[in-house]
Each structure stands twice: as C-alpha cells, then as structure tokens.
A and B are shown apart, each in its own frame.
Chain A
C-alpha cells in the first residue's frame, strides 16, 4: 500500500517537473517548484514507513521549512531583482 503512495507521489513530482520545464512564465516554474518541494516532503515521510532505517521524519520537517524559505527568497528575487533588504541603511 505504501508502494502505491510512493508511485502516486513520484508521478505527481514528474508532472510538476514537466510544468517547471514547460512553464511559460517564471511564476509557473516557481509554482511547480513549490509543489515539487511539498511532494518531496511527503515522499520522505512515506519512505519512513517503507524502510525501517533511520528516522526520515526529521528530514521531512527540515525539507518543509527549507522549501518555504526557498520559495519566498525566489519570489523576492523575481520581484525586485535582488535579495537585499528593502529598508535603506544610512
């Protein structure tokens, strides 16, 4: 049953990657990347129950946070063409 979930998540990741390659605008690519990251979190969480190895759930928590920070940073870069803070320091 976990194999079904793994296959479904992998298929969804492939579809998201297709949109990331095709995407006409940069926002489509960011959207697809965000979804790809979320699906990575789910994939790692399901992997925790397939392989009884190390604890993958900590990695999933970490990926969830990194994904969010990455998307926000990318959007700031797209909007303002730089990662500098908005407040001018005198």
Chain B
C-alpha cells in the first residue's frame, strides 16, 4: 500500500490521534465535514485499526492551529487521502502500543490481543488499556510505515451498520452550525452588494442609516458596503435602508448573447487532452477512418448552474485587541480549505498568515466552491472595523444566489465514426467552457476573494489559465473509459464570458458525461444495438462492466415498459476514470405537454472497499437527486442589469413531489483501495434521464435543463 499524500505531508503521529486518560480518543483530519459523512467513515477506520469502540472517538476537522494541512476537501478525495492516511497511522499506533504493552506486561507481542482498547493475553490475568498505558502522552515520532493495516477478513467493525456521528443533534436542532455560533458581545453584520458585477457605487447616505437603532458601524471601502449592528434584525433593516439609499453606476452590461454562441465565438485557449491530461501537442484535424460506414455528430449544452446551499454562506470573525497575542484575527468558516483560505485572507488583508487562525465549522452542504470563502473575508473586514467584538455575518438569500461562483456553462461537440458492425472507430470531443477552479489562491496583485475586487484599492481576480491536471476542470471525464481505436479530445478555455464561475460538484464531469453517455445511446440506437450491450462491447474494464450489468439487472433492463410515454435509459461513468464506478438506470414518464416525471432510478456502484455502506448510499443517492435537479430544472438566468435567479422561485430545484424512487446496489471490493464516491452518480444521472426520454417519446434532448419548454422546443425543431 502506497503512503497517502496527506500522510507524506503530515507524518507526525501526534497530529492524527490523541489518546486521553478517560478512555476517549480524538482523531484529527485536515478534511472538513460538509454533510458527506466523512467524520463517521474516518472514525470507523480508526476504530477498526485500533480495536476500540467507534463511540470512543471524537473527530476534529480542519483548523490551522492544529497544523494538519490536507488542503481542500474536494474532488471526492477525502477517503483516499485522509481515510488512507488514518488507516495507516492508526495501524502503526496500534503496533506501537502493543510493543509498549509487551514490555509493561512482560509478555511477547505476538501473544497480545486488543478488545476495545484493553490489551491482554489469553490465559493470563495481565491486562492494560491504551489509556492507562498512554493516556495524555505524545508519541513524538513520525510515521515509518512498518505496521500493516488489517486485511478486510480481519474486520470486526467495518461492514457493520453505524449511526451517523452527530445525527442526534442534527434531528434535535442542537447541532452547532457556523450560523449558530454564540459569543458574549456578538455583533451581526450584513452586506450590501452592488446590483450587478460591474456596478460602481456613486452615492450612499450613511448618516441617516448610522442613526438607526442598534447600528454600530457602517463599513464602506470602495464599493464594498456593509453594516454592523447589535441585533441581527437591526443589521438587516439597516442593510436594506443602505440599499435603498445607494446609487450605482453601471460601468458595463452583462453580455446576454446566447451563451452557446459566446462559447464558440470568443477568444479561447485550446489544448489536446490525452489520457485525461492536457498537453501542448498540435491539435489534429478530425479525420474519418476509411473503414467508417457512418459518421454522426451532436452538440450538448449545460447552462450556468448554482450550488444553492440551503443555508447561505456565513463566517464569524474576531480581531483580537490583546497585546502579545500572536493570532490577531480568528475566522470561523465553512470553507472547504482552511489553510488556503488563511493565505488568501492574509494576502487580501495585508497580514502575515501566522497572524490568522482559520477554524472549520460546519455549515449547510456546499457541493463545491460556494460563497464560504468570500464571506470569510467579508466578516474579517467587518471585524477589523470593531476590534475586540466578534462579528457574525450571514449572507442573505439574494447575496448567495447572485454572488456565488456558478458552475460554468458548457458546450460539448461530439463526432464519432462507426464501422459496419456499429463499432466505434474514431471519437472526437470538443468541450468549451469557462474555468471550473477559481478557489482563492493568492497571486501577487490579485485575489480570489470577492470583497477584494470591490474595495477602493481592488485586487482583481487572478488571470485564468487552462488547468493541466489530469481530469482537472473543463476536461474532467472528457476522456471516456471506452476503448476506441482513435480518440481526439480537445478542451477550450473560453474568455470573456459573462458570469463568475468556479467548482461545482463534479466540475466539468457532469456535462462531459452527460454528452458522452447520451451520444453513446444515440450511436447504439443508430446501429440498432441495445444500449447496454453497445457499452459493454466498447469496455475492457471488468469493474465498469460489472456496475452496468448490476444496474441493468436490478432495473429489469430489456423487459418491456408497457405504459405509453414511459421510457428507460442507462448511463455509466467512472469518476475521473479512477474513482468510484457508477451506473444509473432511470425510468421516466413524459406527458403530452412535455413534462418529464422521474419514476424510478437504480444505481449500481463500486467504490472499492466499503467502509460505511449507509453513508456511501446517501452520497450516491444524494448526488443522483442533485443531478436530477440540475438536469430537469436548473439554469441561472441573467440580463444586462444583473442576475435574475435571486431566490428559489426564480431558481427552482427538485422537490419531494419530483424525486424518484431509488434503489442502490453496492458492489463491495474488500481488497481494493477506497474510491471517492461523492460525485459518482451526477453525470450518469443526466444522461440516463435524456436516454430514458428518447426511449419514451423518441426525442433527443441535448440542452439542459429539460424543462417543459425545452422539450416542446426540441419537438418543434424536429
């Protein structure tokens, strides 16, 4: 087993685990809980390797003061990075404790066994617990990798159902979210954003608002405008008064040209993608193989879509007045990367990173880079205006909807040539989009944090460069897992697009997989080959074939749907071609007006070794439902004067009445590494829906979202 990258960066054993004298243990991770259940899975891994009861373990998530830097919680990487690290570290700690116990008990290590932290040997009365042996002590040593983690057949806890850590407080209303933080002397902030990205503040009457009840301070720095008040409703009232008095000058309009035109017309940087990696080789022209009997083309589109967290972004910040305190600013945040955020805050505030402590605190589910980082700088700017008083700042719903970085619009052009048997000979994929990764990283003279762009001395966003990481942003999952003799995949990073964008769950993978898996369905239909069979004919990876077959079997693939207007569709992907495998079969009904109703969904997934099966199912099903919402309903609407999708009425998402029944089949691979699963079902879901619609009414939907209007428009274009 190779060493986890997290462990290479953080080899100190003490940074991962502390054993306390009272028989409890604290497990540390540099990742954060975002509703994906990572604390539960990590605690289970540690409990298993250490042979202690799961309930003894408390998990502490990322805090710059604790030093455990695992950068971002993103890209379905937490199980592979933190999970693998914890597995290796706790196996080693168990071994060290056994060696200590052997000396203490005067028994050979081989004779010792552990039951819930109690070390003993059969047929002797000598025992000692981990906490008697080592409670409150430190190892002061680095990981050396000599101990071997358990094999799956030795597991006693992994595989058994466990409760989600903290669920009692989630359902009891006592969970402590960042929005719920209490401090004596807490002040409340609210932001007044410009009406549009390019509006400058020309006039605002602060005197009148300053006199409103409870107002402590109005903070104005360029077009960054905010208010701090004693009570939350006072801050809200003052903010709306400021908003009314503010006059704005629109410097530039949002470009409302059809986004599908902008994506192909605007200046762009194009790179060839080989094996999922962008390279500098010349981009070949599209060639049609001589054996080809048919060449097909199709274009697929995704609009801008939002994270849409139910709880708007929030941060709490405190500027210390105490002298000799090395930490001047403390920020509590639900950011997915507290260490990178600390550096970005330091840069934006012209401070030293060591002067800032950034502590993770759970917020509402975020699904990528939403407003969490931005609001942290907002709160810090307010806290700096009233040193010594903590300021809690929550964005209003409109702030979240209008200012979060959206999932970028995408356009994908596909072309494939097939031989007489319908086998694909060549495959061409051109994907056009904006940057998918704009998480804050400081670059000299630039900042990735929203408020920096609005201050009197602005730090504009860093220049966009094409991401060259394997399956990075735009090109994530653009390279299909299928075996085609010829593949030509090109990513196009397009400039001057109208809306702010960054990482939304799956990044480019959602639309790339939607396109690939819809097109595979089209090619199968043209070749008159069953869609499942057609995929299998182009796959060599047995685990890929296994999830497809498992989903098909569960869904009764091939059995007729007798009701008119109903259809079934299948789709598949392996996230980033190296993480969780997932296949989705969706059954839909389409009525005479073009309303699509999701009836039933089947997921089959292979996430390697399963740690927390119920948590895994929650991630897979949750991903499917969110993707179904993107597919059927979601599109950020805007006009020259600004964003029109300002609330849940103007940006509707899937409701209880629209969610399908879901059945999930898990394929456990106890001897295989963990494969991140949080983004596995998103892409296949969109394609399974579009393929099911074709099966139902014979219409190919290629532009998301599939609203009734879109279905009618597509039918009218036939």
Q: Tell me whether A and B are bound partners.
A: no
The residues of B with any CB-CB pair to A shorter than 8 Å are none
